[in-house]
Homo-oligomer: A and B are copies of this chain.
C-alpha cells in the first residue's frame, strides 16, 4: 500500500510570510500532553529531515522528488514543536533543560533559526541540486546540534 502525500510547496512558501500566531500556552490540558506533543512533532520532523540528509550524504539513493517531498513535510513539522514548551514542562518524561525557560529569548532565537534553516533546505531541495541540498542539510544539522548541546539533557 502507498499513501499519497500532498504537494505542499505553495503552503510552505506561505510559511515564511503571513501566518496565524497561536499562543504557546493554554493549548494543552496537562503538562505531559505538551511534552508528548513536542516530542512527537520533533520525531516527525527528524524522520523526514533524516531522509533528505541520508540522500544528501549518499546513504540512500538520491531521488529529487522524494527529497523535495520530505523537505516540505519537515518544514511544516518544524513549525509545530515549540508550542509544546509551555512553562512548567521541564519535569517528567523530557530531556528539556530548565535553561529553555531561563534563557527564553535565546531558545526562541534557536527555534527560529531551525525553522529558517529547514525552510532553506526545502528551497534547496526544490532545485534538485545535491550540492545545495547537502550544504543546507549541514546547516540544519549544526542548528539541531547547537540547540541540543545547550538546551537538551544527555
Contact = CB atoms under 8 A, between A and B. Distances in A.
Nearest to A80: B44
Say what secondary structure dominates the interface of chain A.
helix
Nearest to A4: B19
Copies of this protein chain in the complex: 2
A19 B27 CA distance: 31
Interface residues of A, number: 46
13 contacts: A1-B82, A1-B108, A3-B22, A3-B82, A4-B21, A5-B22, A8-B11, A8-B14, A10-B10, A20-B65, A40-B44, A40-B47, A44-B80
Interface of A: 1-8, 10-12, 14-15, 18-24, 27-28, 33, 36-37, 39-41, 43-44, 47, 51, 65-66, 69, 73, 76-77, 79-80, 82-83, 104, 108, 111, 115
